Amino acid sequence: MTTRPGRAPAYQLLADDLRGQITSGRLRPGERLPTEPELCVRTGVSRSTVREALRLLASQHLIVTTRGVTGGSYVAQPDPATLAESLTGGVRMLLACTPVGVNELMEVREMLEVPAVGLAALRRTDEDLAVLRRAMFDPVRDDVPTKLAAHRAFHAALAAATGNPVYELLARPLYAVGNEGELAERASSRLWRTVDAEHRQILQAVVDRDVAAAEQATRTHLANLKANWPDV
């Protein structure tokens, strides 16, 4: 697996091959990968190339590597919060380096989030409600980092309450980016009070399993965020 002109580096090719086996299910979560010497023999690359490929897969949260006598590299258990990190980086890059902005971000959030919160109202558990209640904040007494963390936690909890890990994976990057930057640095106290009130309306609708009310409260919340963004 040596590098040829115009081809990707050998470590990238090995990482691509292993990634394909992981994402196709041929290598299952918790399954141990071949050892570094075994991979060297199978692929004809050096130990350093194998290690670079494994480091790349670990950085993408696809494998976990442990050291010691019983150590090795194992396929990671899929977790939406962890897997969403790479998507979050991509969304941030789009916002920073292209004409994509708040309008596009909010447009996608409305398409996905409004029906998803209705689904959360149908499927939520008592545990989901407890997590949502813990994500409430005091718009007057709490500092901005605390309010920002609570805002992020509230929307993440709504995503989890849908019981759909695919939606949770797709939604987390939108919440993370949407709750940072201008909102964190320049949000007025008025806007934070509005956000708190709207979160409580959404929560009550979810508590009541009122799908229509949950969807309408979410639609209003996103519209207010979008309308206030230039002023925050």
Structural domains in the chain, CATH included, are: 10-75 (1.10.10.10), 80-231 (1.20.120.530)
Q: What is the pLDDT of residues 108-162, one digit of tens each?
A: 999 999 999 999 999 999 999 999 999 999 998 998 889 888 988 999 999 999 9
Distance (Å, rounded) from C-alpha 111 to C-alpha 86?
22
Give the rounded distance of the alpha carbon of 22 from its chain centre: 20
The pLDDT of residue 232? 39
In a 3-state reduction of DSSP, which class is residue 64? strand
- Give residue-wise pLDDT tens across range 72-114: 999 998 887 787 777 777 877 877 788 877 788 888 999 999 9
In this predicted model, which residue has the larger pLDDT, 171 or 229?
171
186 pLDDT tier (thresholds 50, 70, 90): low
Listing DSSP states for 16-33 in one string gives HHHHHHHHTTSS-TTPBP
Residues 103 and 129: beta-carbon distance below 8 Å = no
Residue 217 has pLDDT above 90, yes or no: yes
Mean pLDDT of the chain: 87
Residues 218-232: pLDDT tens digits? 999 999 888 876 543
